[in-house]
Structure 1
Amino acid sequence: MAVKPPWLQTRCNATRRRKPAGKTVIGETRRMMRRGWKNGGVHHLLTMSQPRHNLGRVVALAVMSEVGSEEMEAVVTKMAQGQQKLERIMERFLEAATEDRETIKQAISGQAKKLETVARAKETSIG
């Protein structure tokens, strides 16, 4: 039978074990990528619900939106080797993705304005 990724496996409560120490998000991610689950590691990063993993989730999203999964794998291995802190990787990717931060700011403010106008239009149509 084909090996399913952990989030698809069905397990009864009797066999559910405590998570072993040292099983990190990064470790899991690399394992999934080695096993060849398509974007498995990224899926894992994105589905982690604990707040301490939010940074990883942000990195994964930023990276996935800008680069392919091969580069993602390289980033994950780098993170695992502890060469750089997550924040630094994040900054590097954001800098690479957008040369100047002004465009980001403009895009965000533009989005906010759009939302405001939509909200106003809704209010007037209801009123």
Structure 2
Amino acid sequence: MVTSGIATRQGNQRRYDPDTIDQLALVALYQDVGFTLEEIRSLLPYRGSARHRWELLAGAKVKELDETIRKAQAAKRLLNETIRCQCTRLDGCELVIAAGERRRVHRSSQGVSSTKSSVAPGLRLAR
């Protein structure tokens, strides 16, 4: 992935040229904003020369992050509601059952079939 010069050794340490250090910093930045190594690998050779490609990849990543945030916020809302409802068991909690039913209906309307439980995502019922 990093295309600059090979590291030299001084004592017990590897030494990299400034271009390699810049590329490694760029890889770390891409990872910090959620890009996979495969996505980063496709970006590095372009280094500013393919603005359109960057806009497509960055736009897709923004949509992916928006979906992750939406799911996390929904999970947080459900968890806060279940804390407030004071049910003694999740498998008897109407909020959890309703959330699971909404998820099942939503998935079936999208043509997704699943043998998994229809319980709200991230919650497992006692058996």
Report the TM-score range of the alignment, normalised by the length of the smaller protein: 0.3 to 0.5
Using CA pairs below 8 Å that are at least 6 residues apart, which structure has the higher relative contact order?
A: 1
Whose Rg is larger? 2
Higher helix proportion, which one? 1
Alignment TM-score, normalising by the size of structure 2:
0.33
